[in-house]
Amino acid sequence: MASVPFYFYFIYCIFGLILPKIIFKRILLILDMKHTHCLIIGSGPAGYTAAIYAARANMSPVLYTGHEPGGQLMITNDVENFPGYPQGVNGAMMMADLQAQAERFGTEINLGVLIERVDFSVRPFRAWADNGDEITADSVIVATGASAKWLGLPSEKRLMNIGVSACAVCDGFFYRGKEVAVVGGGDTAAEEATYLAKLCPKVHLFVRKDYLRASKIMQERVKNTPNIEVHWNTEIQEILGGEHVDGVHVINNQTQEKKHIALEAVFVAIGHQPNTQIFKNILDMDETGYLITKPGSTYTNIDGVFACGDAQDKIYRQAITAAGTGCMAALDAERFLAAQGVI
């Protein structure tokens, strides 16, 4: 059989491989669009860790932080449980360090810019930002996190971080030996109350109904913890304090009886909302909006799109677990791009 002439390979390379890429890049240039091997949406520990790994793997990642750069840790004073910080670290400082580390290896960071819409139906994937950017990407890492739900009281906002928190594991230690409260009746509230009961002499659990929505086992734990006092049908009307929390006004929503209770911290545990609305009907998610990834990986239902951090984790929700899955997402994306011959 006659062998294929050498010039055939040459023509094949020009027309089959190189030209389409050149033409594609030209079109992007004309349309004033950006292209990246790896688009990272979100900027908590998951997004920044993904960026560090992706940048070091020559994937030239482009990261959009969203409107709250740094995510939930920006409202956390001291992080004392992230390994490597024996004296603890301020949440905002930690995020600034992670951002600087991601930038050091060449991540393009778009601060305060929100990705509003995506099209994952064809590759390259496309995304549109609220600053007018239109970007195409060979792979996407979703790290949009979840936001704690709040009661919506002005006093809650005013005393945020000085006694009001949404994370007992993060902030409970600062109130050891003190009387505290947890609001909510789900698994998170039950878990936070039992966690705090190991540190605090008394934990008030304010439940707005006359039953707990938490799983049976968590209900049992609450019941069997003597220093948790459950206040049924009870809602906080106001959180009191100046420089720090020193009490709450509560009301029984059945009897209308009002009470003042002196305490030093309020942990709001009424649920989280994963920031995944823009992926609805695109990425698989559970009924509450948490993205579904293939077990043991960060693969979503779309090849080339990976999810990490709290957007896909309703159980652990820690900075360290978010960072861990961010690393996994970058490694998964790198392997995907290598298999596609992109990098």
Residue partners of 44: CB distance under 8 A and separation at least 6: 70, 71, 72, 73, 95, 143, 145, 309, 310, 319, 322
Residue 314 in contact with ligand NDP, rule: CB under 6 A: yes
How is residue 240 written in tokens?
A: 């009191």
* Whether residue 170 lies in the annotated active site: yes
Catalytic, out of 38, 167, 200, 308 = 167
Residue 221 in contact with ligand NDP, rule: CB under 6 A: no
Nearer to ligand NDP, 185 or 304 (CB): 185
* Region from 155-163, 165-173, 181-189, 321-329 binding ligand NDP, contact rule CB under 6 A: 181-189
CA-to-CA distance for 205 and 189, rounded, in angstroms?
8
Host H or E run for residue 38: strand 34-41
Q: How far is the CB of 233 from ligand NDP (least distance, A)?
A: 10
Q: How far is the CB of 50 from ligand NDP (least distance, A)?
A: 24
Q: Which of 187, 264, 313, 332 binds ligand NDP (CB under 6 A)?
A: 187
CA-to-CA distance for 126 and 302, rounded, in angstroms?
13
Site for ligand NDP in 279-308 (CB under 6 A): none
Q: How far is the CB of 152 from ligand NDP (least distance, A)?
A: 7
Residue 271 in contact with ligand NDP, rule: CB under 6 A: yes
Question: Using N-to-C axis directions, what is the helix angle for 45-56 and 91-104, rounded to 10°?
Answer: 20
Omega of the bond leading into 154 within 30 degrees of 0 (cis): no
Residue carrying the six token digits 């951002």: 99
Nearer to ligand NDP, 65 or 188 (CB): 188
Cβ–Cβ < 8 Å for 293, 142: no
* Whether residue 200 lies in the annotated active site: no
Residue 157 in contact with ligand NDP, rule: CB under 6 A: no
Amino acid making up residue 16: G
Residue 270 in contact with ligand NDP, rule: CB under 6 A: yes
Catalytic, out of 170, 200, 308, 327 = 170
Site for ligand NDP in 127-156 (CB under 6 A): 151
Q: Which of 138, 171, 191, 310 binds ligand NDP (CB under 6 A)?
A: 191
* Whether residue 310 lies in the annotated active site: no
Residue 213 in contact with ligand NDP, rule: CB under 6 A: yes
Residue 188 in contact with ligand NDP, rule: CB under 6 A: yes
Tell me the three state secondary structure of residue 255. coil
CA-to-CA distance for 20 and 14, rounded, in angstroms?
9
**Dihedral over Cα of 246, 252, 255, 256: its sign:** positive
Residue 184 in contact with ligand NDP, rule: CB under 6 A: yes
CA-to-CA distance for 311 and 101, rounded, in angstroms?
22
How is residue 29 written in tokens?
A: 């240039």
Which residues does the annotation mark as catalytic? 167, 170-171
**Contacts to ligand NDP by CB under 6 A:** 151, 183-189, 191, 208-209, 213, 270-272, 314-315
